């Protein structure tokens, strides 16, 4: 009765695995196809908020922290009497490295209550120094031009234009300020015509009185730094001052990658997204979270952060078109879908490999799972299968059908199968079914009743195997098609099981559809590690 068809359990498992993979595919692609407009808005809003927060952090790390650190260092030097030199060349040697390393400081000013004033400005490859001292003639100042190496290119006395010394702003910090740091309002450097901001600190000196040090940073330089660091994705970072002027990038130098900023009023902005975001902003203090703005056929998202929450003199803004962000997300989604699809294919191939590798064991699963409550159909389907490592048929329990008499060899034959199952991976013995799969029933054994049949099996098991192994075996009778068959379901034993017969103990294992004797020398190695 050998069947050429694939075992039903293998077919069912293969079909179920295929359906599972198909269902996973539908779920996987469904998740990404259900993204609606609200999801896109959430993505754009989150992106804008995170981008402006990143720009603010870069502003603080690029500008505020280094400036404050440098001023604190200078104040400590001044309070310790290290900046008492009147010669500007000596002060240049002290301050040039600070200006050079900071990278944003364009000008440095030092003044005190005695009328002493000192300025150091970095101009290209040159250093310009101005100094006014109480010792010099009134109305004159010393003007020095030197190289980066300290070589003097020019040193002369010239008229000090009243109120224009250094073209910078020196604000003495309030002495109640614990940090001793004062930030100026935005102003225009009269010499360069550019917006700037200065930061000042102070200290007391017994001979010079109160001394004030300030550093000046051009907003173009600052913004160029912030814009270049923040341009990692779609969107634009810009600065907004308290007069409504916008500093934004105009173009990026292909050589050094630096941005060239431009300053324009809101009405003259060439970027429609920025203009729309500012026109519809209302109070910038209310713009902690990103907001949606529509202009023409586009939708943009913008967010703002105050650089100085106390004064609100300068704001950092970020604006991005919604479709730029969602396009970026969709591109990422395609990659995720490809990865997910590849994983599903690998899972399908792996499942197919498992089914193919264990198809014989899968074929035998129904036999190992038979129980007393199993239906007639389950047993009939099992009988329809070939004998295998986990399934064996025996026509009778004790009668030799050829001689018509009881035969001990017949009893030992089915007991071998039981021992082989327990020593291997378990299995099912059906007594009352011949080798062709035909149900002949236990009636041939001529037991007076079912109880006598059960008792005979129990006595044989006790005599030839041992009742200590009965926990691994279930014996029951089942009437199928008007005939009774004996079902013996065996589990794998943790201990070695021997068949005792004629004063000899023999170890059997399953090998294909039959049980074979294993040599004593191999029994120990086989049983090691069983649990």
The whole-chain average pLDDT of the chain stands at: 78
**Cα 428 to Cα 389: distance, rounded to the nearest angstrom:** 9
Give the architecture (CATH level 2) of 369-527.
2-Layer Sandwich (3.30)
Say if residues 441 and 481 touch (Cβ distance below 8 Å).
no
418-441: pLDDT as tens digits: 999 999 889 999 999 998 999 999
What average pLDDT score do residues 53-70 get? Answer: 85
- Residue 439's pLDDT is 93
Distance CA 497, CA 518 (A): 12
**277/317: higher pLDDT:** 317
The string of DSSP letters for 327-392 reads HHHHHHHHHHHHHHHHHHHHHHHHHHHHHHHTHHHHHHHHHHT--TT--HHHHHHHHTSPPBTTEE
Lowest mean pLDDT among 363-372, 489-498, 521-530: 363-372
pLDDT-above-90 percentage for the chain: 27
By the 8 A CB rule, do 387 and 400 touch? Answer: no
- The arrangement of secondary structure in 37-50+221-324, i.e. its CATH architecture, is 2-Layer Sandwich (3.30)
pLDDT digits (tens, 9 = 90+) for 244-257: 677 766 665 556 55
Q: Torsion over CA of 179, 185, 188 and 190, rounded to 10 degrees?
A: -60
Q: Which of 262, 266, 240 is nearest to 251 (CA)?
A: 262
Give the residue-averaged pLDDT of 503-517. 91
Q: How many whole angstroms separate alpha carbon 451 and alpha carbon 461? A: 15
Name the pTM for this structure.
Answer: 0.49
Averaged pLDDT, 293-302: 80
Output the pLDDT for position 72.
92
Closest listed residue to residue 486, CA positions, set 438, 437, 428, 446: 428
Domain limits, the chain: 8-34+328-360, 37-50+221-324, 58-213, 369-527
CB 527 within 8 A of CB 466: no
* Structure confidence by residue, pLDDT tens digits, 374-390: 788 888 888 888 888 88
Higher pLDDT, 352 or 457: 457
Among 99-113, 293-307, 445-459, 517-531, the range with the most confident prediction by mean pLDDT is 445-459
What confidence score (pLDDT) does residue 474 get? 93
Enumerate the β-bridge partners of residue 394.
431
Residue 337 has pLDDT above 80, yes or no: no
**Quick one: how far is CA 53 from the chain centroid?**
21
- What would the pLDDT profile of 158-202 be if each residue is shown by its tens digit? 876 544 444 444 555 555 555 578 887 777 777 777 778 888 998
Concatenated DSSP letters for 144-161? EEEETT--EEEEEEEE--
Per-residue pLDDT of 136-168, as tens digits, reads 666 678 899 999 888 999 998 887 654 444 444
453 token code pair: 């049949």
């Amino acid at each position: 009765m050998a069947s050429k068809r694939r075992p039903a359990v293998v077919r069912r498992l293969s079909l179920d695995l295929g359906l599972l993979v198909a269902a996973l595919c539908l779920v996987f692609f469904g998740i990404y196809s259900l993204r609606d407009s609200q999801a896109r808005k959430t993505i754009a809003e989150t992106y804008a908020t995170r981008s402006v927060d990143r720009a603010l952090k870069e502003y603080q790390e690029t500008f505020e922290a280094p400036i404050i650190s440098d001023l604190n260092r200078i104040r400590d030097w001044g309070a310790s009497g290290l900046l008492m030199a009147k010669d500007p060349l000596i002060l240049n040697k002290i301050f040039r490295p600070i200006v050079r390393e900071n990278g944003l400081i364009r000008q440095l000013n030092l003044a005190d209550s005695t009328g002493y004033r000192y300025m150091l400005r970095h101009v290209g490859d040159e250093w310009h120094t101005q100094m006014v001292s109480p010792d010099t003639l009134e109305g004159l100042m010393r003007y020095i031009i030197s190289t980066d190496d300290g070589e003097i290119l020019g040193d002369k006395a010239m008229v000090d234009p009243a109120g224009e010394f250094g073209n910078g702003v020196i604000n003495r910090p309030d002495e109640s300020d614990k940090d001793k740091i004062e930030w100026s309002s935005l102003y225009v450097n009269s010499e360069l015509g550019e917006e700037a901001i200065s930061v000042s600190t102070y200290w007391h000196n017994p001979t010079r009185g109160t001394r004030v040090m300030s550093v000046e940073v051009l907003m173009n330089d600052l913004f160029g730094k912030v814009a270049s660091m923040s341009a990692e994705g779609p969107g634009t970072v810009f600065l907004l001052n308290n007069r409504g002027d916008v500093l934004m990038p105009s173009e990026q130098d292909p050589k050094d990658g630096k941005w060239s900023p431009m300053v324009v009023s809101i009405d003259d902005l060439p970027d429609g997204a920025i203009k729309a975001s500012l026109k519809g902003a209302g109070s910038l203090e209310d713009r902690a979270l990103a907001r949606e703005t529509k202009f023409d056929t586009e939708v943009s998202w913008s967010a703002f952060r105050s650089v100085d929450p106390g004064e609100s003199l300068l704001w950092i803004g970020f604006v991005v078109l919604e479709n730029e962000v969602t396009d970026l997300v969709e591109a990422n989604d395609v990659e995720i879908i490809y990865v997910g699809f590849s994983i599903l294919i690998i899972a399908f191939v792996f499942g197919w490999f498992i089914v193919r590798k264990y198809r014989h064991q899968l074929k035998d699963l129904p036999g190992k799972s038979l129980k007393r409550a199993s239906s007639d159909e389950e047993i009939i389907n099992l009988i329809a299968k070939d004998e295998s490592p986990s399934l064996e048929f025996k026509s009778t329990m004790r009668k030799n059908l050829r001689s018509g008499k009881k035969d001990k060899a017949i009893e030992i034959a089915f007991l071998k199968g039981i021992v082989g199952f327990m020593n291997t991976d378990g299995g099912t013995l059906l007594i009352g079914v011949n080798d062709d799969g035909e149900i002949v029933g236990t009636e041939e054994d001529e037991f007076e009743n079912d109880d006598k049949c059960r008792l005979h099996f129990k006595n044989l098991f006790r005599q030839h195997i041992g009742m200590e192994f009965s926990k691994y075996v279930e014996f029951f009778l089942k009437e199928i098609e008007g005939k009774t068959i004996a079902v013996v379901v065996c589990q794998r034993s943790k201990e070695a099981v021997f068949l005792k017969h004629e004063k000899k103990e023999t170890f059997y294992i399953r090998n294909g559809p039959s049980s074979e004797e294993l040599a004593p020398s191999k029994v120990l190695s086989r049983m090691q590690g069983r649990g």
